[in-house]
Structure 1
Amino acid sequence: AITMRELGIAQPMLIGREDVLHRLSAEMDLQLEGIEIMDPTRIDARMDSLTDAYYFDRKRHGVLREDAANTLRHDINVLGAMLVRQGFADGMLSGRTAHYPNVLRPVLKVLGHDQQGQHYHVYGLYIMIMEHGAYLLADCTVNVDMSAEELARLAVLAHETALSLGIEPRIGMLSFSNFGSAEHAETRKVAEAVRLLHERHADIVVDGEMQADTAVNADILRQYPFSHLKEPANVLIFPTMQAGNIAYKLLKELGGGQAIGPILLGLPQQVHVLQTGASVDDIVNMAAIASARAQ
C-alpha cells in the first residue's frame, strides 16, 4: 500500500483492525500516513450502509441483518467486495495468504451477479513477461473446462484486456491440432469457438485451432497462409484450465518468465485474487493493472 501511494498508482485502503495495523507498521518502521484504514470492528455510517446493502442482497438466502453484520465484521473478502459494489472503492486485491478458491467464492457471492440475479462467467488471465515480449494467457485459474461459447467469450474478454493495457492483440486459440489436422471432440470445440469469433467479431484478429508452436513461431505460421494471424500470437487461449495453468507455471519456472496476475475477467469491477505468497512487486503490479483498467 505504501509503494502504491508513493508511486501514485492508487489511493490505497487497508482493511483490518486499525490498532493492529498501526502496531505492525511501527514494528516494521513503516508510515501509514495518507493511507485509509477500513476497520471492520468500527461501527459507523459507512459500515451500517454496507450491512444494509449486504442484508438486502442476501435476505432471501437465509441471512438475517445481524448475520450480515457479523459476516462483514469477520470476512474481509466479503467486506472488500461490498466496498467495491457500493462505490466506496474502485477495485480490490486479496488472497496473498489464502487459497485462491477460498477468496474467489465470497467475492463472487457479492459481485458475481447483476441486479437481476444473472450470474457473470469469470475467467483468470496471466500476463507473462518473456525475454522477447509479453504474452497474455487464459484461462489459467478458474474454469476447469469450457464450451465453445465460453472459449469465444474468453477470447473477447482477453482482447478487451489487451487493448486496455495498450497491447494490440493477436489471438491464438490453442489445441493439439492445426486447422483440422487431428479430428477429435476437443479440437472441434476450439474450431467452433473460432467460427463463432469470426462470425460475431470480425474486428478481432484471431484464429485456430492451432498448436502452441504454430501460434508463436512465425516460420511455422507461414505454412498456413490462409490464417487470420499474419504475425505470431501474443494472446493465447487454452482449451482447458489444466493446460493454461501448467503452461504459465512452466514458462515461469523453466522459461524465466515473470508472471503478472491472475487478472480476473468477466466482472464489471476490478477485483483480483492474488497468488498465494505474492510479493510486494506482484501486488503493486496487480494494483497498477487494476487502476489502469478501472479508468
Structure 2
Amino acid sequence: MTEDRQVEDGQDEEQQGESQINWFKRMMLVKYRTMKGLTQQRVSVAVYKSKDTVRAYERARSPIPAGIITDLIEVLDIPEDVADYLRIIAPLKGNEPPIEADGRFNALYLSLCEQYMGQIFEWAPTLFPGALQTRAYHDGPSREAAINPTDEWMESGRIFKVERNTTLVGRLDRPQIHFLLGEPAFFFLSKTPRKLQIEQLDYLSAHDELPGWEIRVLTEPSFNGMSTFSCFEPGPQEKYPDVGPKVVYTELPHSSWVFQDEDRIAFYDGWRHAKWPSSIRFKEYRDAYWRNWLA
C-alpha cells in the first residue's frame, strides 16, 4: 500500500472524517510551511518524500508517518514547545482515547481551531476569555486568579492571548464566534479600579460589534463543575476548507483536554444550547445592569 492510499470503501480520509490527532499534525505542517514561505517541493526534499506525498499529507489523503516528524520539525523550524507536542503525538493513529496534557500543549490545538474552524463557542464563568482581555485586566484580575504566577509565565500568557485575538479579529472568512460570560466575571471586574473597568467593558463592546461575533452574559446560576470550555465546529466545508473535526476543549488548573468523543461533546452541547437562549446580549447587560455599578 502506498502512502497516498485510500481507505477500503474508496473514500479518502478527509471524506471519511478526520481524527483530531491527524488534523493537528497536518495543519501544523500547513501552518509552518506557509509561515516560512516554503514550497511543498522544498519540504518533500527535506523529508525524503515526493511532492505529491507532501501534498497528500496537507490534504488529509494520507496520514503523516511518525518517522518524518523530526525532519519536518527541522525543515519548518518549528518552535520547541510545539515540536515537543508533535513528538508526543507522532506515533498516534488518531483512534486513541482523548489526550490529557498540560494547558500549553492543548492550547496549541485551541489556537489552531481559532484559526480555521467555522463555528467557535467559549464559556467563561468567572474570568473574561483570554482573547478578550485588555493588558490591564491580564495584569490585574487574571494574574490574581492564577496559581503561583511568575513574571515570565504571565508575559508568555499575554503574548499568547494577543496572538489569539489577532487571529480571530483578522479572519476574513468571518466565522461565527460566540462568547458566553458568567455574571461573576463582572462582579470581580467591579472590584478593580474604575479606569480598568471602563477600558475592559469598551474592549468587549468593540468585539461584540464585529461581523459574526456575539457576546452574551448568563445572569442565572450555573453548575459549578462546568468550568471554562470551548466548542469548535467545522461549518460549511466550501467556506472553511481546512477545518478539522468537531471538538471540545476543557481546562483545569493542572491539565486540559481536547476531545471529539460524541457522547462527551453532546453533554457540553446540551448545556450551551440550553443556556445561550436564556442569556442576555452584552450591550443590553451593560446598559441595563452595569451602569448602576459605575454610577
Q: Same fold (TM over 0.5)?
A: no
TM-score, normalised by the number of residues in structure 2: 0.31
TM-score, normalised by the number of residues in structure 1: 0.31
